[in-house]
Amino acid sequence: MKTKNAVSALAALAQEARLEIFRLLVRKGAQGMAAGELSNHFLMPPATMSFHLKELSNAELIVARRESRSIIYSANYEQMQELLGFLMENCCADNGGKC
Amino acid sequence: MKTKNAVSALAALAQEARLEIFRLLVRKGAQGMAAGELSNHFLMPPATMSFHLKELSNAELIVARRESRSIIYSANYEQMQELLGFLMENCCADNGGKC
DNA sequence: GTGATAATTCGATATTATTGGAAATATGAA
DNA sequence: TTCATATTTCCAATAATATCGAATTATCAC
């Protein structure tokens, strides 16, 4: 993962509404949730939800699939793991590995 | 960790300069680095560096200690671990633990 | 085709974050 | 106390982000 990807993923999560959306999708696992369901769940207008889902999608933290008229979003665990790894990369390397 | 703390930590890291500062401090371990050293290392005016260090400090991702005229900053690994845990909390709980 | 439903894009407004020079504060050395 | 060094705070300009109604696009059922 490159710094710019990490910044984009962190920025996507650094917003209360989006962080809660992402955490709900993390709970839901592979089944995911439709945009409209999320919009109802968080009592948020569809346009606002759509904006947030796009931010998370652009950062590749969630993925979308169409199912009939609905668009289902689910968490992308691989991207999340990469982000966590990036943040702790070379931890204490310049201090003999002592943290 | 509460959502608001997590948002504050993520926002602190969601900025290219600050992410690089944090990652350098993660490498440095407990010895840390002085504000001025960081300012030189990143070719950034002291006022700008000070602003970024304050953001990271407010999020408790780094801690400061005075050593003579210098202020030494170092990564706060406990806070980082809490953040990582928060992001993956209850992973797939609503899907029978299958990710 | 038409109508209903699901979601996104557009556009205007409001809010918040970033930058860095100049001034202020804190420490140490002579 | 005076001077030099290290860092922070103040302030104003600029840039980036969030919100959401209205218009648009996509899918399905009849």
Tokens of B60: 């408790």
In a domain, A79, yes or no: yes
Question: For residue B99, is pLDDT > 80?
Answer: no
* Residue A95: predicted pLDDT: 82
B6/A30 Cβ within 8 A:
no
Question: For residue A97, is pLDDT > 80?
Answer: no
Bases of chain C with protein Cβ within 7 A: 5-11, 17-23, 26-29
In a domain, A96, yes or no: no
Q: Considering only CA atoms, which of A72, A67, A3 is closest in space to residue A33?
A: A72
Asked if B50 and B57 touch (Cβ cutoff 8 Å), the reply is no
Asked if A18 and A56 touch (Cβ cutoff 8 Å), the reply is yes
Give the CATH number for residue A16. 1.10.10.10
Give the gap in angstroms from C-alpha B69 to the nearest C-alpha of chain A: 23
B17 compared with A2, residue with greater pLDDT: B17
* Residue B72: predicted pLDDT: 98
Confidence of residue A52 (pLDDT cuts 50, 70, 90): very high
In a domain, B22, yes or no: yes
pLDDT tens track for B41-53? 999 999 999 999 9
pLDDT tens track for B23-78? 999 999 999 999 999 999 999 999 999 999 999 999 999 999 999 999 999 999 99
Give the gap in angstroms from C-alpha B89 to the nearest C-alpha of chain A: 8
* Residue A89: predicted pLDDT: 87
Mean pLDDT in residue range B79-96: 89
* Residue B69: predicted pLDDT: 95
In a domain, A97, yes or no: no
B28/A94 Cβ within 8 A:
yes
* Residue B57: predicted pLDDT: 97
In a domain, B99, yes or no: no
Mean pLDDT in residue range B91-97: 82
Bases of chain D with protein Cβ within 7 A: 5-10, 17-23, 26-28
Asked if A60 and A76 touch (Cβ cutoff 8 Å), the reply is yes
Domain of residue A70, residue span: 3-86
Q: Which residue(s) pair with A65 in the sheet?
A: A72
In a domain, B96, yes or no: no
In a domain, B97, yes or no: no
Q: Considering only CA atoms, which of B80, B91, B13 is closest in space to residue A13?
A: B13
- Nearest CB neighbour to B90, from listed A16, A27, A91: A27
Question: For residue B97, is pLDDT > 80?
Answer: no
Q: How many domains, in total, are found in chain B?
A: 1
In a domain, A61, yes or no: yes
* Residue A28: predicted pLDDT: 94
B99/B48 Cα distance (integer angstroms):
42
